[in-house]
């Protein structure tokens, strides 16, 4: 199957490590870590490409190509386990919907197959023309937390330093921006402090807006391995699978988290159940915080949250009595108009009770996508490479020096965040958009508005592994990408562990690894000399190491991909000489941050930050009397289902059509029968869905999973003021019979 590649010179054979077949197979780079092909039963480990748990899967190879997989038993994350998505990861690659050639919209308005040369010609001429007419900032990009870190870094570097863009952001805005800002403000750096071992070491785990059983099933397995008889407290308006397995479920009113956690702080302080030494030595702002929470009396908080005063006292007492308490949160916190302060209300509880830096403790945000953590550090979007700041001359000089580029190529202003990029399109300031590995037409908030905005673009490029995604169908140019399993690189999981992904399968047709696409763009744009050193993902990894030096995420002591494989992944920081930097294996396996109580602010202390809770932007009204919650539906469905929807097995395990969870009382009042098709309406849209009558939702609330393409027709585009993260999880709707 020798396909002639027009740009073979862009593929670099390194140390003879790529076999001829690998090199000539369409797309992708060769294996960074070469399995022994002489053995028929050779396997090679790699990190799963779905969720941020970062399980390791052993890929079984025949003649160097994947024929199956099993979970890795020797990996400190998953210990031999995988969820159905992991098991099916290879099977979603083979699909007739794969993008196999570039597609360019022709005069008749149809997407038509073209060569890479034509595609790159159109890409450069259209974007350059737009920049000439409207300025360099009139072309922007939207990236993802689902590419390898090397690819994200190259994308961000080519776009900003090569093509002169100013604005780029990614789907991590929809997901982790709140945690990023909360950590930065509180700790001085975006640093989730925990290691997964903490699930097994904790005496009390408090899960807030996190449905771990569904969204991170293998992390839940780790919780189940805890032998300390832990108290498991779940704070979620819904009686989720996770809540059903809790020892205490606080079914709070949507968006009353801030009141709840200030109320718990109130009780802890009143009873003197706090750690005075820790507060004095390691925090700032306690007096002000204590004064602030004084008004959050148990009675007031019970009223706001819909919980009983007794249940508040019970949780506070549990926090006090248990030696090791850990706080875990996900989208129920992050996706809120006051998410940053809600996340910080949890961080504050951990700080004032001294539940930081010890086994089984921590203020722990669980990430979502396989490489959200890589995008947080290296996507070069709203933060400069390596967790730096575009607005700081010193940071720009450091990066310019490390990359050997002219410092003037680095913008001195910050990117707009995702919602501002969309506003920029609406205002006619952004005319060209490059969308890589995300599907905004399905996943962005208030879908009809989003479609209308993207329609206004002069040129939309979508780089995806499938040509059929909702967003690809709107594109002027589709660039076919190799997928997980068809390319090399690294991911960083929720506990900051860096793990390797590899090419174990050829990409279909002319699809190329995103890394190669970025190199092609640089080549055709005429800026490839800036990226001479970025020959392959593994070369890029060495550049990333340099970029991490001296930062809290310093991982300069990791040698190379092979080293990562040998150690079962390695968590940052990993600095020579410091903890974890020695050659001893055991030191690489588990590491948590802040064991010395030193945070990244100049004075080494964490900040206690707080604010008055605000009312919901769109509370229920007479016309729209119910609150819509959205989120993950099943463990087998991934986001917009472009991937999981291709697996026959996963499709069998998930509901075929969109459904809405309705409480039996509301169903009765509206005369709705179970499984009946009903309409859910908000001020923005009307969605048909099957009624799933269930007690998992409270009266007055309904839940629709995000996996179906119409769900976001209902949601309301409001954002957290600090993180600009969309508030997907509460808007007003009504349900009606059809
Ligand atoms: N199977 C599967 N797993 C996934 C994903 C997937 O698509 N499918 N996606 C991955 C990604 S990117 C992410 S970000 C994670 C998300 O993981 P999670 O955040 O755990 O998942 P969600 O279902 O979005 O939201 C969690 C819970 O927040 C609750 N919630 C809503 N409003 C509130 C509120 O006001 N307060 C509180 N306390 N809770 C509230 C919802 O009822 C929901 O049960 O999952 C990751 N894992
Ligand atoms: N209502 C509601 N909406 C939500 C949420 C919610 O809870 N409620 N959650 C939000 C969250 S947390 C998230 S993270 C977002 C996710 O939203 P999206 O990022 O839009 O969802 P995905 O389906 O993961 O899209 C990833 C795209 O990348 C493509 N892809 C996969 N691998 C590769 C690759 O290697 N290269 C390239 N080039 N393409 C690839 C896939 O085919 C797919 O089209 O959704 C958000 N939207
Ligand atoms: S839990 Fe996440 S990382 Fe592990 S196998 Fe499932 S999808 Fe992959
Ligand atoms: Mo996410």
pLDDT, tens digit, for every residue of 75-114?
999 999 999 999 999 999 999 999 999 999 999 999 999 9
Residue 145 region, left (φ>0) first, then alpha (ψ -120 to 50), else beta?
Answer: alpha
Model confidence at 17: pLDDT above 90: no
Domain layout of the chain by residue ranges? 8-93, 103-173+373-549, 193-365, 626-737
With the most atoms of ligand 2 within 8 angstroms of its CB, the residue from 27, 29, 95, 144 to mutate is 144
Low-confidence winner among 25-29, 60-64, 81-85, 559-563 (lowest mean pLDDT):
25-29
Closest ligand 1 atom to the C-alpha of 171? 12
Alpha helix stretches (DSSP H) within 168-308: 177-187, 197-201, 212-215, 217-224, 241-244, 257-270, 276-282, 286-293, 298-305
What is d(CA 42, CA 58) in angstroms, rounded to the nearest whole number?
10
Give, using CA atoms, the residue closest to atom 2 of ligand 1.
215
Burial 685-706 (b: 16+ CB within 10 A, else e): bebebebbbbebbbeebbbbbb
Distance 656 CA to ligand 3 centre (A): 22
Which ligand minimizes its atom distance to the CA of 365?
1
For the segment 166-177, the average pLDDT, to the nearest whole number, is: 98
Give, using CA atoms, the residue closest to atom 26 of ligand 2.
438
- Surface-to-core class of residue 41, CB atoms within 10 Å of its CB (0-12 exposed, 13-18 middle, 19+ buried): exposed
What is d(CA 738, CA 734) in angstroms, rounded to the nearest whole number?
13
Closest ligand 3 atom to the C-alpha of 86? 5
For the segment 412-420, the average pLDDT, to the nearest whole number, is: 98
Alpha helix stretches (DSSP H) within 465-536: 514-525
Residue 546 CB coordination number (10 Å): 17
Closest ligand 1 atom to the C-alpha of 175? 14
Closest ligand 3 atom to the C-alpha of 370? 3
Model confidence at 121: pLDDT above 50: yes
Distance 266 CA to ligand 2 centre (A): 39
Model confidence at 160: pLDDT above 60: yes
Distance of CA 718 to the CA centre of its chain: 19
Closest ligand 1 atom to the C-alpha of 705? 23
Which ligand minimizes its atom distance to the CA of 482?
2
The reported pLDDT for the residue numbered 589 is: 76
Q: Which fold has domain 193-365?
A: Dimethylsulfoxide Reductase; domain 2 (3.40.228)
Closest ligand 2 atom to the C-alpha of 631? 7
438, 442, 444, 447 alpha-carbon torsion, rounded to 10°:
150
Q: What percentage of the chain has pLDDT greater than the value 90?
A: 91
Query: Which residues have CB less than 5 Å away from ligand 4 (the ion)?
Result: 175, 368
Distance 607 CA to ligand 2 centre (A): 33
With the most atoms of ligand 2 within 8 angstroms of its CB, the residue from 372, 375, 443 to mutate is 443
The reported pLDDT for the residue numbered 42 is: 87
Binding site membership of 444 for ligand 2 (Cβ less than 6 Å): no
The reported pLDDT for the residue numbered 41 is: 61
Per-residue pLDDT band at 24 (split at 50, 70, 90): very low
The reported pLDDT for the residue numbered 63 is: 84
Which residue shows structure tokens 């009504």? 734
C-beta of residue 642 within 8 angstroms of C-beta of residue 717: no
Low-confidence winner among 5-14, 381-390, 521-530 (lowest mean pLDDT):
5-14
The H or E element containing residue 230 is none
Per-residue pLDDT band at 39 (split at 50, 70, 90): low
Ligand 1 binding residues, C-beta < 6 A = 51, 175, 208-211, 214-216, 235-238, 240, 254-255, 257, 330-332, 368-369, 629, 631-632, 635, 637-639, 729
Distance 442 CA to ligand 2 centre (A): 8
pTM for this one?
A: 0.95
| CATH of the domain spanning 626-737 | 2.40.40.20
The reported pLDDT for the residue numbered 4 is: 38
Distance 525 CA to ligand 1 centre (A): 40
C-beta of residue 156 within 8 angstroms of C-beta of residue 168: yes
Which residue shows structure tokens 């737009």? 130
Q: Which tens digits make up the pLDDT trace of 243-284?
A: 999 999 999 999 999 999 999 999 999 999 999 999 999 999
The reported pLDDT for the residue numbered 38 is: 54
- Class of the 103-173+373-549 domain? alpha beta
Residue 596 CB coordination number (10 Å): 10
Classify domain 8-93 at the CATH superfamily level. ADC-like domains (2.20.25.90)
Q: Are 8-93 and 626-737 in the same CATH fold?
A: no
Per-residue pLDDT band at 588 (split at 50, 70, 90): low
Binding site membership of 484 for ligand 2 (Cβ less than 6 Å): yes
Residue 88 CB coordination number (10 Å): 22
Which ligand minimizes its atom distance to the CA of 518?
2
Distance 637 CA to ligand 3 centre (A): 12
The reported pLDDT for the residue numbered 559 is: 96
Distance 107 CA to ligand 1 centre (A): 43
Binding site membership of 642 for ligand 2 (Cβ less than 6 Å): yes
Give, using CA atoms, the residue closest to atom 10 of ligand 1.
368
C-beta of residue 640 within 8 angstroms of C-beta of residue 442: yes
Q: Specify the higher pLDDT residue, 17 or 323.
A: 323
C-beta of residue 63 within 8 angstroms of C-beta of residue 40: no
Closest ligand 3 atom to the C-alpha of 83? 6
Structure tokens at 656: 């075929």
Binding site membership of 516 for ligand 2 (Cβ less than 6 Å): no
Distance 431 CA to ligand 2 centre (A): 23
For the segment 652-673, the average pLDDT, to the nearest whole number, is: 97
Give, using CA atoms, the residue closest to atom 18 of ligand 1.
210
What is d(CA 459, CA 433) in angstroms, rounded to the nearest whole number?
7
Distance 438 CA to ligand 2 centre (A): 5
**DSSP code for 439:** -
Handedness of CA 127, 128, 132, 138 (dihedral sign): positive
What is d(CA 69, CA 67) in angstroms, rounded to the nearest whole number?
7
Residues 6+ apart with CB under 8 A from 147: 155, 371, 374, 375, 436, 437, 489, 514
Distance 343 CA to ligand 1 centre (A): 14
Which ligand minimizes its atom distance to the CA of 479?
2
Binding site membership of 639 for ligand 2 (Cβ less than 6 Å): yes
Q: Which tens digits make up the pLDDT trace of 430-469?
A: 999 999 999 999 999 999 999 999 999 999 999 999 999 9
Model confidence at 318: pLDDT above 90: yes
Give, using CA atoms, the residue closest to atom 1 of ligand 3.
218
Give, using CA atoms, the residue closest to atom 8 of ligand 3.
86
Q: Specify the higher pLDDT residue, 11 or 315.
A: 315
Ligand 3 binding residues, C-beta < 6 A = 48, 50-51, 53-55, 78, 82-83, 85-86, 216-218
Model confidence at 27: pLDDT above 80: no
For the segment 618-642, the average pLDDT, to the nearest whole number, is: 98
């Amino acid at each position: 199957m020798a396909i002639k590649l027009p740009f073979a010179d862009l593929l670099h054979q390194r140390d003879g490590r790529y076999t001829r077949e690998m090199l000539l197979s369409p797309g992708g780079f060769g294996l960074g870590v070469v399995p022994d092909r002489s053995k028929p039963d050779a396997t090679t480990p790699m990190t799963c490409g779905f969720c941020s748990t970062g399980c390791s899967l052993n890929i079984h190879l025949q003649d160097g190509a994947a024929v199956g997989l099993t979970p890795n038993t020797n990996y400190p994350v998953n210990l031999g386990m995988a969820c159905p998505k992991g098991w099916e990861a290879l099977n979603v690659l083979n699909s007739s919907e794969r993008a196999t050639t570039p597609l360019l919209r022709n005069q008749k308005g149809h997407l038509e197959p073209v060569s890479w040369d034509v595609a790159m010609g159109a890409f450069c001429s259209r974007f350059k023309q737009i920049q000439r007419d409207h300025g360099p900032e009139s072309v922007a990009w939207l990236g993802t937390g689902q590419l390898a870190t090397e690819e994200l870094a190259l994308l961000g570097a080519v776009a900003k330093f090569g093509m002169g863009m100013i604005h780029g952001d990614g789907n991590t805005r929809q997901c982790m921006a709140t945690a990023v800002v909360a950590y930065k403000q509180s700790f001085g750096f975006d640093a989730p402090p925990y290691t997964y071992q903490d699930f097994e070491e904790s005496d009390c785990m408090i899960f807030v807006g996190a449905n771990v059983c569904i969204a991170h099933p293998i992390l839940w397995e780790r919780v189940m391995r805890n032998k300390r008889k832990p108290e498991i407290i779940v704070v979620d308006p819904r009686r989720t699978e996770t809540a059903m397995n809790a020892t205490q479920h606080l079914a709070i009113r949507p968006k009353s988290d801030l009141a709840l956690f200030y109320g718990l702080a109130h009780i802890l302080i009143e009873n003197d159940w706090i750690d005075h030494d820790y507060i004095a030595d390691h925090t700032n702002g306690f007096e002000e915080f204590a004064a602030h929470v004084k008004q959050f009396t148990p009675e007031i908080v019970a009223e706001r949250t819909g919980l009983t005063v007794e249940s508040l006292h019970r949780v506070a007492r549990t926090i006090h009595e248990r030696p090791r308490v850990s706080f875990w949160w996900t989208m129920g916190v992050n996706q809120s108009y006051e998410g940053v302060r809600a996340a910080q209300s949890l961080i504050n509880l951990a700080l004032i009770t001294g539940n930081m830096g010890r086994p089984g403790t921590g203020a722990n945000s669980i990430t979502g996508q396989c490489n959200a953590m890589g995008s947080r550090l290296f996507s070069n979007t709203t933060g400069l490479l390596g967790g730096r700041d575009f607005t700081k001359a010193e940071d720009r000089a450091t990066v310019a020096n490390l990359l050997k580029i002219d410092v003037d190529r680095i913008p001195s202003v910050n990117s707009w965040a995702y919602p501002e990029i969309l506003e920029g399109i609406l205002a006619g300031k952004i005319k060209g958009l490059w969308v890589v590995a995300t599907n905004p037409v399905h996943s962005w908030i208030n879908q009809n508005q989003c479609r209308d905005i993207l329609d206004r673009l002069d040129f939309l490029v979508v780089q995806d592994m499938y040509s059929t995604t909702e967003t690809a169908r709107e594109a002027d140019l589709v660039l076919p990408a190799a997928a997980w399993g068809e390319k090399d690189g690294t991911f960083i999981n929720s506990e900051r562990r860096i793990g390797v992904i590899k090419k174990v399968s050829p990409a279909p047709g002319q699809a190329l690894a995103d890394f190669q696409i970025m190199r092609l763009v640089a080549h055709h744009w005429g800026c490839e000399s800036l990226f001479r050193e970025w020959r392959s993902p593994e070369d890029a990894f060495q550049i990333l190491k340099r970029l991490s030096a001296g930062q809290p995420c310093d991982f300069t002591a990791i040698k190379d991909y092979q080293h990562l494989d040998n150690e079962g992944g390695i968590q940052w920081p990993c600095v020579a000489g410091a903890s974890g930097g020695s050659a001893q294996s055991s030191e690489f396996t588990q590491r948590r941050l802040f064991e010395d109580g030193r945070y990244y602010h100049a004075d080494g202390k964490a900040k206690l930050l707080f604010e008055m809770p605000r009312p919901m932007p769109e509370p229920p009204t007479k016309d729209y009397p119910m609150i819509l919650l959205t989120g993950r539906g099943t463990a087998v469905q991934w986001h917009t289902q472009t991937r999981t929807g291709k697996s026959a097995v996963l499709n069998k395990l998930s509901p075929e059509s969109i459904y809405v969870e309705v409480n039996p009382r509301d169903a009765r009042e509206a005369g709705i029968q179970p499984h009946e098709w009903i309409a859910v309406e908000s001020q923005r849209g009307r969605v048909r869905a099957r009624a799933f009558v269930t007690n998992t939702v409270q009266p007055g609330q309904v839940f629709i999973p995000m996996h179906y393409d119409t769900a976001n027709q209902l949601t309301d585009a409001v954002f957290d003021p600090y993180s600009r993260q969309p508030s997907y999880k509460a808007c007003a709707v009504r349900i009606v019979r059809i």
